[in-house]
Structure 1
Amino acid sequence: MLSDSMKKTVRHAHQNIAEQLEDYRPRSSQNYLVAEIAKTLAGEYHKSQRICVIEAGTGTGKSLAYCLGALPLALAKKKKLVISTATVALQEQLIEKELPFFKEHSGIDFKFDLVKGRQRYICVQKLMAAVNQDDTQLSLVPTTSSPLTDMEQKCLRELANAYQNKHWAGDRDSWEDTIPDKVWNLIACDKHACQRQMKSHHLCPFHLARQKIQQMDVLVINHALLLADLELGGGTILPEPEETYYVIDEAHHLPHITRDFSSAAATIKGTIEWLEKLLKFSGRMAGTIVSQKAIGQNFKLNDAANDVSKLLKSVRDSLDQADFNYNDDDTYRFVHGEVPESLTTQAKDIADATLDTLRALNKMHDALTTDVSDGDVQAFLADPLLVESGQYINRLEQLNKLWFSYAAKGESTPHARWIKRMEYKHHHDHLLCDCPIEVGFYLKDKLWRECAGAVLCSATLTALGSFDHFSKESGLANEPGVKFIKADSPFAYETQATLHIPKTKVEPTDKTFSDYLAEALPTYLDKRKANLVLFASYWQMGHVVSALRKKKLNILVQGEMSREALLSRHKAAVDLGAGSILFGTQSLSEGLDLPGKYLENLVITKIPFAVPTSPVEEAQAEFIQSKGGNPFLSITVPDAAKKLVQSCGRLLRKETDSGRITILDRRLITKRYGKAMLDTLPPFARQID
């Protein structure tokens, strides 16, 4: 239960913040969220499962709400508050604006920091080794085979100088210029080579950053880092889940990111080639390790790796002879994820042999790490070997994950499995892929049932007015104590904006619809104001742009320049009073903030239905059909409804904004699912021709 003193702390902090905000207006929806978050985390709804799912419309002030509702309680209960986001933009907003403002004015004292994955930091030893090597020998890892260009070498030296002179903290994000991937891969921190227990790595930026975590009260992370910690059992990178309150902002991304994180892929011939390199490398590594046990482990590694290669060659021959019906994208998907019996048997043997190889290499890696720590092997000799063995360990882990899944039988969770045929100039290969269709069970077991409490929030979590779709995807369906909350936006939609659905001559499913758009669009643009036109595909956008430019229409197009440059040009034109026309696809329908005069006329060309072309989407549809469901109504329509809400959300960003939305898709009126979509949109004033 929330104590009276805790309620007083929250009210006092809210009052302090309100006094510092210009044009602050009390918002009943925000007050409601603060109270519900605090009560959920205090255990008023369920003693053990303290989780709430919040859909908060634009302008609700959800970040202030979760800071007020969760932080005082976290401090009082001596829990960490971890805020996870899907985008860098929101992370920056929290770290640079909202948390500093909250700390300064709320009257609550706390420490906060941004936590990034180790791959965002340099390993100092690797940086110095790369700089000090002869230019022709800049190959520390098996993935970097060609020498660095002059430009890349210059970049490497600039990074080293800046770090040594304390002008750079050693993380990729704070370097003002772009660091080429090839250079970064050479010097990035990795979990196998850059270990804190080794003296030569004590002062690497990643380990210094991790030391600060224990002193922080609030940690801002991204969803990928959250999943990386859960994969390691929780509490390895981040604080223990049972000692943590999580705020999952932009929560609608979490199921898809979890699915991507849980997938695995590997080629056949490519794997055979790097296994041959591993055999040569392990001999060099065994020769460097002081302990005699390394010789025995090297023998085990060689035997196991050779077994993997033999088995993969057998799979290669089978796939070359198989009469799989590959599609136009050279992809063959196994129906219901069921792999042929012959491949399942081989998969089990490959998974076992891969695991044996991995165990032997891990023991050799640990032995060399111990030798360096004990002073028996010098760090400059060991570091390149540890870097390379780390690369092989990562590859073996991925390989084992893939083949272990291909060997699975009677699994409770459906998987998508497919093969992609890859053609090169002088040879061909097969890429085998695996991805779970549903990941809710994973989040349920690893996070929801382990954490001290969680708040999931986003502007779009419901689909067609219900949380059912999201709760199933995220593993929260039928979970006891989970509180689902919908907080309305404070906007006066009826007076701030008009939604217009005009009559159209051509249906969006018609082949001539793109030509029709090119003809009709100018009618719905206001050249004196800021316009945004959203398309469902790049091809259709390109077709319309080409036609309209022939009519001398000045258009800013997504993809023709960086997002930053595009928006700068758009705002500059509006500031000059010249108006602007901005064209984009679905990726511009989320996270784009163009308040006030920077967007007054929004045109959506068609309902943003996704075409299920990827093997995962096809497998998902197939699975639903096998259960007697309708994939279009249970996946495609809910996803499109959420995207349409996001698209319409671009227009009104503040309570003083106004404008017009035009949707050139009559299916919102003529189809039953369209009417359901229309009902989920905010209550704009409607003009339906």
Structure 2
Amino acid sequence: MLSSSLKKTIRQVHQHVANNLSDYRPRSSQNYLVAEIAKTLAGEYHKKQRICVIEAGTGTGKSLAYCLGALPLALAQKKKLVISTATVALQEQLIAKELPFFKKHSGLSFKFDLVKGRQRYICAHKLHNAVNGDSQTQMEFMPTLSSPLSVMETKCLNELYTAYTTKKWQGDRDSWADTVPDKVWGLIACDKHSCQRQMKAHQTCPFQLARQQLMQMDVLVINHSLLLADLDLGGGKILPEPDNTIYVIDEAHHLAHITRDFSSAAATIKGTIEWLDKLTKFSGKMAKVIVGQKAIGQNFKLCDSINDANKDLKVVRDILDNADFEYSKDDTYRFENGEIPQSLHSKAKDISEATQDALRCLSKMHDTLTQDVSDGDIKPYVADPILGESGQYINRLEQLNKLWFSYANKGEGTPHARWIKRLEYKNHHDHLLSDCPIEVGYYLKDKLWSECAGAVLCSATLSALGSFDHFAYETGLAKEEGVKFIKVPSPFDYPNQATLRIPVSKIEPTDKAFSDHLANTLPEYLDTKKANLVLFASYWQMDHVSKFLRTKGFNLLVQGEMSREAMLKLHTKNIDEGKGSILFGTQSLSEGLDLPGKYLENLIITKIPFAVPTSPIEEAQAEFVQSKGGNPFLSITVPDAAKKLVQSCGRLLRKESDAGCITILDRRLITKRYGKAMLDTLPPFKRQIDY
């Protein structure tokens, strides 16, 4: 229960913050959110399941609400508060603006930091060896380095080394002012297998120091991928233990999609055979370096496992070479219902077992060599390149085993999408096999919701067509006892701030002539003296229309022709100089784009953003819904498009003082039953529907 002293603390903190916010306005919706978050996390609705799902419209002040509702309670219960986001932009906003302000004016004493994955940091030992060795040493230290560094890459490496050793740079990729080439970064990046804290040479590496600092923090800002990486390791391996953590998952509408990507696996056939052969040679070299006799036996077992795996992979290669699969235009063949042929299934079991054995043996050899270094029996400069290489092979074996284990367990548990992509090279061809679970709710339920001390999931778009059902099902929260679903309206005065117009059109968006129709009619709705954003459903259509309008003398800023940052900088410059500006973008510009006030006054959406189920995962999802007697268009496509449409419309009004017009050039919002349902999910803008 929420104690009276904690209620008093939250009220006091709220007052302190309000007194120091220049444009603060008391908002009943924000006060309601703070109270509901605090009550949920205190266990007032359910003693164990302390989870709330919040949809809060733009301008509600979500980040302030969850700081007020969750942080005093986390500090009182001596628990960590982990805030997870989907975008770098929100992370930067929290770290640079929201949390420093909250700390300064709340009266609460807490420490916070941004937590990044290991791959964002250098390994100081690797950096030293890369700079002080010759090109041959570099090739040894990075097995994937196919050629020595170029003059430009070597110069960059030396600049990084000088900056790090003179303490002008802390060793993380994001704080380096310039771009670090991937080839250079791959040579010096931290990895979990070779850069280990128990090894003296690595104790002062930036990642290890960052992790030591992490344990002293009260609030950690992370991204969804890092959250999933920690859960995959069992929880509490990178981040604090889940049962000692309250999670705030902001931009939660991305969670299911990112979880699905994280749970997928892929591997080639011929490419795998080649690197497994290389692993056999490498393991012999590794066994000779390890002190004692144990490594000899492990090496024999490892080589036997690799031979078994390769023998079966060659059979799979022959099966696929001779199969009469009907590949699509992009050389992809999807197995219906995720069912793979019996010939592949029997081999999958054998490959899964062989790769599991190989992984076990190589991990033991890796751990033994690490211990030899810690004991002082082997010099770090001898072991490091070997540990670096074995670490890369362990990662590859984990991915390989994940794929074949799933293929071996077809039809068990959750449904999976499985497909093959044919790869054509100059001198040879290969097959890439992929696997992805269609549903990930069970994973989040087992690994996160049942383990955490509490969770707040929030976004401006979580419901679809007026219901949380689709989101709850995707994230494993459907029918879960005690989960609180809350919808809070935006404080905007929508009817007076914006007009939503749907003009007359004789041509349907599904018509082939629609792109030409767009090119001809779009100028009617553009205001060349103001800030315009036109959102397209496809790159092809955007390119088609932009080429036509440029022949008519229109000045356009088109997504993809320059970096997003450069494009927005030019856009704001045009507006500041009173020139007017026209931005053309696709769906990716419909989210995370913040152009307040005069920087966006005219928004045009060319058509409802329906996703065409062209990827094997989307096709498999549709197939699965159909197999259960459902309608994939109504249960997946329409809810997803409805959420995207809300996001797109959300670009126009960012503050309570903003105003403008939204034009949607898709009459299906009026003529189709699902269109009317979509229209009803949009904010209550003043409507102008032409007939």
Quick one: distance in 1 between partners of 2:168 and 2:677?
56
Q: Which residue of 2 aligns with 1:19?
A: 19
Instruction: Render the CA deviation track for 1:495-537: whole Å, top value 9, x for unaligned.
Output: 0000000001311000010101000000000011000000000
1:87 partnered with 2:95: no
Decide whether the 8 Å contact of 1:41 with 1:50 is kept in 2: yes
Equivalent residue, structure 2, for 1:119: 119
Determine the C-alpha separation between the residues in 2 that align with 1:661 and 1:363: 61
Two-structure CA RMSD over aligned residues (Å): 0.6
The answer to whether 1:688 aligns with 2:662 is: no
Residue 142 of structure 1 deviates from its aligned partner by 2.4
| CA shift digits 1:435-458 (9 cap, x unpaired) | 000000000000001000000000
Q: Deviations over 1:330-357 (max 9, x none)?
A: 0110000001111111000000000111
Determine the structure 2 residue equivalent to 1:293: 294
What are the superposed Cα offsets for residues 116-160 of structure 1, whole Å, 9 maximum, x if unpaired?
Answer: 111100001111111112124422222211111111111111101
1:168 partner SS: coil
SS at match of 2:113: strand
CA-CA distance at 1:213 after TM superposition: 1.4
| Residue 42 of structure 1 pairs with residue 42 of structure 2 | yes
Within a 5 Å distance, the mapping from 1:155-304 to structure 2 comes to: 155-304=156-305
Q: Secondary structure at the match of 1:485?
A: strand
Question: In the aligned structure 2, how far is the partner of 1:338 from the partner of 1:87?
Answer: 35
- Give the Cα separation in 2 of the matches to 1:62 and 1:356: 48
Cα pair 2:230 2:239 within 8 Å, conserved? yes
Greater shift after overlay, 59-68 or 179-188?
Answer: 179-188
Matched, 1:595 2:592: no
Q: Deviations over 1:340-393 (max 9, x none)?
A: 111111000000000111111011101110110011110001000000000000
CA distance in 1, matches of 2:64, 2:299: 56
Distance (whole Å) between structure 2 residues aligned to residue 135 and residue 145 of structure 1: 11
Specify the SS of the correspondent of 1:280: helix
Give the Cα–Cα distance (whole angstroms) in 1 for the partners of residues 660 and 100 of structure 2. Answer: 33
- Contact 2:339 2:411 (8 Å CA) reproduced: no
Tell me, yes or no, if the aligned pair for 1:499 and 1:685 is still in contact at 8 Å.
Answer: yes
Partner-residue secondary structure (3-state), 1:435 = strand
C-alpha distance in structure 2 between counterparts of 1:368 and 1:23, whole Å: 60
2:251–2:458: 8 Å Cα contact kept in structure 1?
yes
Structure 1 partner of 2:608: 607
1:171-222 CA distance string (max 9 Å, x none): 0000000001111111100000000000000000000000011111000000
Three-state SS of the structure 2 residue aligned to 1:527 is coil
Secondary structure in 1 matching 2:48: coil
Residue 51 of structure 1: aligned partner: 51
Residue 622 (structure 1) aligned with residue 623 (structure 2) = yes
Give distance in 1, aligned partners of 2:569 and 2:322.
Answer: 55
Q: Does residue 305 in structure 1 map to residue 299 in structure 2?
A: no
Paired position in structure 1 for 2:142 = 141
Q: Which consecutive unaligned segments of at least 5 residues does structure 2 have?
A: none
Match of 1:432 in 2: 433
How far apart, CA to CA, are the structure 1 residues paired with 2:327 and 2:224? 34
**Correspondence for 1:380:** 381
- Tell me the equivalent position of 2:75: 75
Distance across 2 between alignment mates of 1:320 and 1:254: 38
CA distance in 2, matches of 1:537, 1:373: 56
Would you say the 8 A contact 1:243–1:452 is kept in 2?
Answer: yes
Name the CA distance, whole Å, in 1 between partners of 2:76 and 2:89. 30
One-letter identity of the residue aligned with 2:688: Q
Amino acid across the alignment from 1:131: V
| Secondary structure in 2 matching 1:613 | coil
Residue 6 of structure 1: aligned partner: 6
Q: CA deviation at 1:410?
A: 3.5
Secondary structure of residue in 1 paired with 2:81: strand
Is the CA contact 2:83–2:248 (under 8 Å) kept in the aligned structure 1?
yes
Give 3-state SS (helix, strand or coil) of 2:422's partner.
strand
* Aligned AA (1:378): K
Output the amino acid matched with 2:120.
Answer: R
Task: Report the Cα offset of residue 291 of structure 1.
Answer: 1.8
AA at the equivalent of 2:73: L
Q: Where do 4+ consecutive residues of structure 1 move more than 4 Å?
A: none
Q: Which amino acid aligns with 1:549?
A: R
1:195-594 equivalence runs, <5 A: 195-594=196-595
8 Å Cα contact 1:496-1:657 kept in structure 2 = yes
Q: Counterpart of 1:657?
A: 658
Q: Distance in 2 between matches of 1:184 and 1:409?
A: 38
Per-residue CA distance 1:585-608 (angstroms, 9 max, x = gap): 000000000000000000000000
Separation of aligned partners in 1, 2:310 and 2:643: 47
**Per the alignment, do residues 451 and 58 of structure 1 end up closer, same or farther by CA in structure 2, a change over 3 Å counting?**
same
Residues 199, 374 of structure 2: 8 Å contact kept: yes
1:315–1:343: 8 Å Cα contact kept in structure 2?
Answer: yes
The aligned amino acid for 1:600 is: E
Between the aligned partners of 1:627 and 1:143, the Cα distance in structure 2 is: 45
Q: How far apart are residue 168 of structure 1 and its match?
A: 0.4
Partners of 2:353 and 2:5 in 1: CA distance: 58
Give a deviation string over 1:38-68, Cα, whole Å, max 9, x none.
Answer: 0000000000000000000000000000000
Q: What is the identity, as a one-letter code, of the residue corresponding to 2:149? A: L
Superposition deviation, residue 255 in structure 1: 0.1
Distance 1:530 1:409, change over 3 A: closer
Distance 1:343 1:497 in 2: 58
Distance in 1, Cα, partners of 2:9 & 2:290: 59
Distance 1:613 1:185 in 2: 33
Aligned length, in residue pairs = 689
1:65 aligns with 2:89: no
Q: Secondary structure at the match of 2:657?
A: coil
Structure 2 counterpart of 1:101? 101
| TM-score normalised over the length of structure 2 | 0.99
Please tell me whether the aligned partners of residues 338 and 411 of structure 2 are also in contact (alpha carbons under 8 angstroms).
no
Deviation at 1:409, TM superposition (A): 3.7
SS at match of 2:388: helix
Contact 1:199 1:373 (8 Å CA) reproduced: yes
Q: Is the 8 A contact 2:340 2:410 kept in 1?
A: no
Identity %: 78
For residues 198 and 621 of structure 1, the distance between their equivalents in structure 2, rounded to whole angstroms, comes to: 50
What's the secondary structure of 1:290's corresponding residue? coil
The aligned residue for residue 154 of structure 2 is 153
SS in 2 for 1:430: strand
Secondary structure of the 1:95 match is helix
Letter in 1 for 2:231: L
CA distance in 1, matches of 2:270, 2:316: 10
Q: Secondary structure in 2 aligned to 1:138?
A: helix
What letter is aligned with 2:83? I
Cα distance in structure 1, aligned partners of 2:588 and 2:471: 20
Indicate yes or no: 2:129 matched with 1:132: no
